[in-house]
Structure 1
């Protein structure tokens, strides 16, 4: 979560952004969680990319690399939206560990099917949170954050489809 000041509010940088300070503060907190989760899933996907073995190795290896690039773009977009609202992006690996919604990725996975299923779980968990977040942003009247989280949720759903297609009959 974003660091709060003594009044319990998220500390924001001065900005001419027309959204109220209360809404900006709540959106910064929301986006901090999504930034942490995006950083986490970026490296969960790379972990799978580096360590996958088995049938269809090259196809799965390349899929994981492609998914990594997509999610890495979300990291940047989320951080930039957060800072445009006057927040301070907490985008380090350490901050991610403290704020991600995802479960730790098992380091012992090797088989492609195991990586595919585990990543599908992580992507689905973040997708659900992104959909909830876009509703929260809509209710707060922050159309741009709602739009960003819609883009993220749409991309995550596509990634889930790519992952699950390997083990669905």
Structure 2
């Protein structure tokens, strides 16, 4: 069953916006808030997918992978804050609860029965790669809309996701 990716707002059918002196037009800000809501939900989701792996990983290389997952969790948690702050800076209302994140995430649910480090590494790599592809589309959307700051934010996140994918894939490539 496919999830409805429509952002949930205050029941008015529109993106909730606050007055701001931000120079971007209200239409562009509204579109960017919707874009950023999806990435906020995804960032929160991937943050806790990574923590789920951190808590439950087992295997011969346990400590290295356990620490890698903790580092990746910290990195993605920073993305959460950056996305939420950009979203609110342009007049949006960040939807950062667990329930909102489930509704807005672009990712598939993370399996709760994984144990082996390679299984966690492969599954997390899939999630990071899926988000990375969505970030690239978001960069294009922000560029076309004329919002260079959202474009820059997503570009930085994309660079970080690529590096995270490299760190995880290096465990099972070769």
**Displacement, 1:141?**
0.4
TM-score relative to the length of structure 1 = 0.97
2 CA distance for matches of 1:55 and 1:79? 38
Cα separation, 2, equivalents of 1:74 and 1:48: 18
Correspondence for 2:32 among 27, 44, 47: 27
Distance apart, 1:10 and its partner CA: 1.6
- Which ranges in structure 2 are unaligned for 5 or more consecutive residues? 1-6
- Residue 106 (structure 1) aligned with residue 111 (structure 2): yes
Look up the match of 1:78: 83
**8 A contact 1:5–1:11 mirrored in 2:** no
Q: Quick one: distance in 1 between partners of 2:21 and 2:29?
A: 12
SS of 1:25's equivalent in the other structure is: helix
1:37 match: secondary structure: helix
Runs of at least 4 residues of structure 1 off by over 6 A? none
Q: Which of 36, 50, 63 is the equivalent residue of 1:45?
A: 50
Two-structure CA RMSD over aligned residues (Å): 1.1
TM-score (norm: length of structure 2): 0.94
Paired residues, number? 168
Q: Does residue 142 of the first structure (1) align with residue 147 of the second (2)?
A: yes
